[in-house]
Chain A
Amino acid sequence: MSDNTTTPQVVLEVRGVSKQFPGVLANDNINFDLRKGEIHALLGENGAGKSTLMNLIYGLHRPDKGEFIVNGKPAVIHSPNDSIALGIGMVHQHFMLIPVFTVAENIMLGDETVKRGSLDRAAVAAKIRQISGQYGLDVEPNAIVGDLPVGIQQRVEILKTLYRKANIVILDEPTAVLTPQEAEDLFRIMRDLTARGVSIIFITHKLKEVLAVSDRITVMRGGRVVNTVTPAETNSAQLANMMVGRQVILTVDKQEREAAEETLIVENLTVRDQRDLETVHGVSFSVRAGEVLGIAGVQGNGQTELSEALTGLRHPTGGKVTIAGKDLTGKTPRAMTEAGLAHIPEDRQRHGLVLSYSITDNMVLCDYYRPPFSQRGVIQPKALDDYARRLIQAFDVRTPSPFVQAGKLSGGNQQKVIVARELSRKGVKLVIANQPTRGLDVGSIEYIHSEIVKMRDHGIAVLLISAELDEIMALSDRIAVMYRGQIVAIVNAKETTREKLGLLMAGAHAETA
């Protein structure tokens, strides 16, 4: 794209745009341009102003200052209708789909084709087939959206924008919900789209993706554009520095360590999911004190059910779980906690926090009933307050006060609250961390990784479950690969490669890999 000798056509230009929200200048004199047929990544940490800028372009907010130029003409964007009319489409991070409707119904929603007073489903389906054929977006128009995997639902969202004749597509954190394979698929689709003249703004905070897929990269920090670069002239470390504004250590520093006794022993564990289907088939492994065992695998291969069974959230249907010498098979989360389990749950907003509680209350969510936090069933506010303030300081939770509701914190700070609570508990012998850095910014990831390694170095057993292969490889001493509810291999982290693990994750056997 960029090696074209003629000046590339600019389809969207943002000139000097500023937006003030109460107490924060979310966008400060932003200049940004998008060329025809390019993937322009917008990189930045949470709160850098990426979403604000996109909401301004999409007409959800109005800028205080500055102007937009679309296809060479100054554009007035007061509502999403204006931006759709200008050919701008947006795929939100959280999909705006109605699960019980079909793909065709979702796509035509708000722009229905009517024939003699009723919906002309056939015409719409035909048009969808035509568009999906044209852009290589395979979707069955008559499928019910709720039955489709997340990756396909995202295609429906993209189709929705193309159906409305968008030639500028904004993708807001599109890979946050995808498996690595689905993400690869998405990148292929993105390249297909640009080859056919669609321009894409790709919002993300994942460095690797940005370098792999984009033509140009604009980095934002604190409401300002730091720089615009091409992948050829930069690298991960440099981008990370621009995002965070300081040197970031991307590799985890980890000392060699002798693992001791087996803290967690899992024998022949079988687990069924909500629909009563067995998703974990007789899994056995152990985690020693002072080691990190990583469980790698594509999402949906039984990791969620396995971790729920190990933490007391779900009853296993067979097998045995021993923590620190105690048989805790099928015991309650409280029994597990009291035996020395610290659990960083997969879904921090569903399990890990009560969002409308203060940080203080969330800091004692699991220990509120124990002294010094309670005496004879009565909560001791002073003890709670002291403890919360200490943890906020020790774990660098960015908040004006401990009274702030957890729901008002950024994702990274929410996760810090959980990590602080779980890792500070007295008598922790085993840490189970499930997707501990999902959706977090570089700074928070760095911090949480260092805390996990610190636990290991203090002789605590750590079970790390993650869909991010890089995270697994950076932190683990040994790596177990999970595929279709089974552990297909357990390998030494130093003796394996990304490629080998990738093959195992895709179902190849250990011998052939």
Chain B
Amino acid sequence: MQPEKQSNSPAGKFLQSVSEAALVPFLAILTAVIIGGVIILVVGGNPFAAYMGLLQGAFGNAKAWSETAVWATPYIFAGLAVALAFKGGLFNIGAEGQLAVGAVVSSLIGYALPGWLGFDLPAIVHLPLTVILGMLMGGFWASIVGALKAYTGGHEVINTIMMNYIALNTTSYLLNGVMKDKSPTNVIARTPLIEESARFPVIFEGLRIHWGFVLALLTAVFIWWLLNKTTLGFEIRTVGLNPDAAKYAGVNVKRTIILTMLLSGMLAGLAGAIEVTGLNYRHELGFSIGYGFDAIAIALLGKSHPLGVVLASFLFAAMRNGATRMQFITQLPVDLISVLQALILLFVAADAIVRYIYRIKSKGERVTLTRGWGG
């Protein structure tokens, strides 16, 4: 055994673990930014102007900040969903579908429930109900995959992808059919607006930032607490790291797998429910431009740590939000942002490259994203 520097105080230990965990993602971003700059140069742009434009667009004024936060909100929820599943040894590729079914149920409850009941609901009842039912729908959708994994060994990667197809096509069918906004001017696949009583109040007049953003940050804290400070979190992590040892230790592995997927799906469902109740006030086909898929990247970049997920969400939100401004200033296509994101991801996923470039010694074990097929 080789002795190594080891801080014994909890605070020192925390700082040490944070700096160690953040090092590779940070260098991955740095490398991507440098290579992105070279690409900008090659296509005839000015990298400094482009990046300045990106920063201005993302953080230049109160409105820019607000829009970045608006982008970050679904990213945080969906990123936490994927990260939680990773912690439990499951690869939830289905956040996109879970988000969609959550949004469908939320919008339905939001616009139709008072009509069904025949009376108006106070916001204190209607809003939580709308959010919670959307969240539960996402959880239910994912827990089907969890149950398939636990009882038949069906691999969650395949099954979440399949469930995505079912979710997205069903959503399309509903939004073009029974749930379609019937107002005469409407031609697109979207639901009617939800009732006022199902909407989050605005925080600042004139800015789109909403309470859902605050809820997202609180949820991140809650998930951190759940994973690290509760027996349930201990069980999820143990099953994720070593299911054989978990079984030996008396953990109900099947139940934990289902529960992990349920919680993961609930977080993704929340992403959808919050977009409906906090921002759009309806569900519209194509409102989610791949939040559920970006969430995988965010969870990876954030090393599946809730704080990391929040930071990574901000990065992705800033890039998405600042892209327009960058395009306006430099005439560079917005697609460049996708290239930049892909580069970041490439370097995070293939951290061996980053370790090689910066001569960092590998430490500890690597993150197991998913175990072998049916394993």
Interface: A150 (CB within 8 A): no
Q: Chain A residues with Cβ under 8 A from B231's Cβ?
A: 368-369, 374, 377-379
With A350-B242, A352-B245 as contacts: A24 and B2 at CB distance below 8 Å: yes
Q: Which of A394-411 contact B (CB under 8 A)?
A: 398, 400-401, 403-405, 407-410
Q: Chain A residues with Cβ under 8 A from B364's Cβ?
A: 356, 405
Interface: A75 (CB within 8 A): no
Q: Chain B residues with Cβ under 8 A from A352's Cβ?
A: 245, 248
Give Cα A311 to B244, complex, Å. Answer: 13
Q: Indicate if the CB atoms of A404 and B248 lie closer than 8 Å.
A: no
Q: Indicate if the CB atoms of A366 and B8 lie closer than 8 Å.
A: no
Interface: A248 (CB within 8 A): no
Q: Chain B residues with Cβ under 8 A from A369's Cβ?
A: 231
B interface footprint on A307-327 (CB within 8 Å = 1, 0 otherwise): 000010100000000000000
B interface footprint on A268-287 (CB within 8 Å = 1, 0 otherwise): 00000000000000000000
Give Cα A381 to B251, complex, Å. Answer: 20
> Which residue of chain A lies nearest to B3 when distances are taken between CB atoms in the complex?
A23
Q: Chain A residues with Cβ under 8 A from B252's Cβ?
A: 332
Q: Indicate if the CB atoms of B248 and A23 lie closer than 8 Å.
A: no
Q: Indicate if the CB atoms of B249 and A366 lie closer than 8 Å.
A: yes
Chain B: interface residue total (CB-CB under 8 A) = 27
**Smallest CB separation, B80 vs chain A (Å):** 20
Give Cα A355 to B364, complex, Å. Answer: 10
Q: Which of A287-343 contact B (CB under 8 A)?
A: 311, 313, 332-334, 337, 343
Contact for A351 among B230, B248, B251, CB less than 8 A? B248
Q: Chain B residues with Cβ under 8 A from A23's Cβ?
A: 2-4
Q: Indicate if the CB atoms of B230 and A356 lie closer than 8 Å.
A: no
In this complex, which of B2, B238, B248 has the most chain A Cβ atoms within 10 angstroms of its Cβ?
Answer: B248
Interface: A211 (CB within 8 A): no
Contact for A21 among B2, B251, B365, CB less than 8 A? B2
Interface: B183 (CB within 8 A): no
Q: Indicate if the CB atoms of A400 and B6 lie closer than 8 Å.
A: yes
Q: Indicate if the CB atoms of B230 and A350 lie closer than 8 Å.
A: no
A interface footprint on B285-296 (CB within 8 Å = 1, 0 otherwise): 000000000000
Give Cα A398 to B2, complex, Å. Answer: 12
> Which residue of chain B lies nearest to A373 when distances are taken between CB atoms in the complex?
B231
Interface: A47 (CB within 8 A): yes
Interface: A461 (CB within 8 A): no
> Which residue of chain A lies nearest to B239 when distances are taken between CB atoms in the complex?
A354
What is the size category of the interface that chain A forms with chain B? 35 or more
Interface: A345 (CB within 8 A): yes
Give Cα A446 to B6, complex, Å. Answer: 30
Q: Chain A residues with Cβ under 8 A from B8's Cβ?
A: 401, 403
**Smallest CB separation, A418 vs chain B (Å):** 10
With A354-B238, A354-B245, A355-B365 as contacts: A24 and B250 at CB distance below 8 Å: no
Q: Which of B202-260 contact A (CB under 8 A)?
A: 229-234, 238, 241-242, 244-252
> Which residue of chain B lies nearest to A370 when distances are taken between CB atoms in the complex?
B231
Interface: A365 (CB within 8 A): yes
Q: Chain B residues with Cβ under 8 A from A42's Cβ?
A: none
Q: Chain A residues with Cβ under 8 A from B242's Cβ?
A: 350, 353-355
**Smallest CB separation, A453 vs chain B (Å):** 24
In this complex, which of B231, B250, B252 has the most chain A Cβ atoms within 10 angstroms of its Cβ?
Answer: B250
Give Cα A377 to B259, complex, Å. Answer: 15
**Smallest CB separation, B369 vs chain A (Å):** 14
Give Cα A21 to B361, complex, Å. Answer: 14
> Which residue of chain A lies nearest to B232 when distances are taken between CB atoms in the complex?
A377
Give Cα A381 to B10, complex, Å. Answer: 11
**Smallest CB separation, B304 vs chain A (Å):** 13
Interface: B42 (CB within 8 A): no
Q: Indicate if the CB atoms of A401 and B249 lie closer than 8 Å.
A: no
> Which residue of chain B lies nearest to A409 when distances are taken between CB atoms in the complex?
B1
Q: Chain B residues with Cβ under 8 A from A110's Cβ?
A: none
Interface: B13 (CB within 8 A): yes
> Which residue of chain B lies nearest to A312 when distances are taken between CB atoms in the complex?
B250
Q: Chain A residues with Cβ under 8 A from B6's Cβ?
A: 400-401, 403-404
Q: Chain B residues with Cβ under 8 A from A149's Cβ?
A: none
Give Cα A475 to B278, complex, Å. Answer: 69
Q: Indicate if the CB atoms of A24 and B248 lie closer than 8 Å.
A: no
Interface: A117 (CB within 8 A): no
Interface: A101 (CB within 8 A): no
Interface: A187 (CB within 8 A): no
Q: Indicate if the CB atoms of A365 and B1 lie closer than 8 Å.
A: no
Give Cα A354 to B3, complex, Å. Answer: 21
Q: Which of A354-391 contact B (CB under 8 A)?
A: 354-357, 361, 365-366, 368-369, 374, 377-379, 381
3 closest A-B pairs by CB: A334-B250, A351-B248, A23-B3
Interchain Cβ contacts under 8 Å between A and B, 27 examples: A22-B2, A23-B3, A332-B252, A343-B248, A351-B245, A351-B248, A352-B245, A352-B248, A353-B245, A354-B246, A355-B241, A356-B241, A357-B241, A366-B249, A368-B231, A377-B230, A377-B231, A378-B229, A378-B230, A378-B231, A381-B229, A401-B6, A403-B13, A404-B6, A405-B364, A407-B365, A410-B1
Which B residues have a C-beta under 8 Å from some C-beta of A?
1-4, 6, 8, 13, 229-234, 238, 241-242, 244-252, 364-365
